[in-house]
Amino acid sequence: MINQLKKSLELGASIEKQIGTDDPQRLESIKDDLKDQMGAPVGLHTAGVPLIFSALFALLSFVMPQLTVWSAVFNWMAWPQHAVFVGIIITGLVYCLLMFPSMTLISKGSVSALKVYLLLMLLTAVVAVLYLLYTIITLLFAAEYPMGYPIGAFIGLVFILASFICLNSAMFVKTMAFYLHNRVWRRQLKLQQLPKRK
């Protein structure tokens, strides 16, 4: 079910083990293997399209429950309701501060950053499922409850599933191969510069 995502993680783990070498020929061989995995040298995978769309869908999914969550928090704390959007904005900023640096590091070939990103996606998925359950239960038992909330919750779940589908795709494997290829290339350039500094 998540074969392509596992393939991306395994590819990254394999390259991380090999990239420590100082042998230029070995690094060139690793680059050639990654070129084979990557396929075409230019395309949607080199533009990072799967990762970009995954992040967009995850962000949209994350946004869906925020009004309900923060309205409940403000009611519980007896804070003024007109300030609810302050909570939403702060939470959104924190989410983006976790998401965008991890995306940047993924684009540099970091497998650890990919794992952090996946954890963030998993937490977003848990929130989306819990929010959908909450809206369905409230719809069943509340006297008056707008139908827009369960619909929004369902759309949020669809968005996070779409986010995972983007990562669990053959194109993302190619994207990851491209990122890792560039990481190996940077390693080569670094090794070439070392003798000049002596």
Scanning the structure block, which residue is given the tokens 């707008």? 146
What percentage of residues in the chain have a pLDDT greater than 70?
97
- Residue pair 126/140 in contact by the 8 Å Cβ criterion: no
| Average pLDDT score over the chain | 91
Contact between 180 and 18 under an 8 Å Cβ cutoff? The reply is: no
Q: Which bin fits 146, alpha (ψ -120 to 50), beta or left (φ > 0)?
A: beta
| Count of other CB atoms within 10 angstroms of residue 97 | 10
Q: N- to C-terminal Cα distance for the chain? A: 51
For residue range 21-74, list pLDDT tens digits in order.
888 899 999 999 999 988 877 777 888 999 999 999 999 999 999 999 998 888
Q: What pLDDT does residue 113 have? A: 96
The predicted model gives 66-84 an average pLDDT of 88
Q: What is the pLDDT of residues 86-129, one digit of tens each?
A: 999 999 999 999 999 999 999 999 999 999 999 999 999 999 99
Q: Of 194, 178, 184, 187, nearest to 15 (Cα)?
A: 184
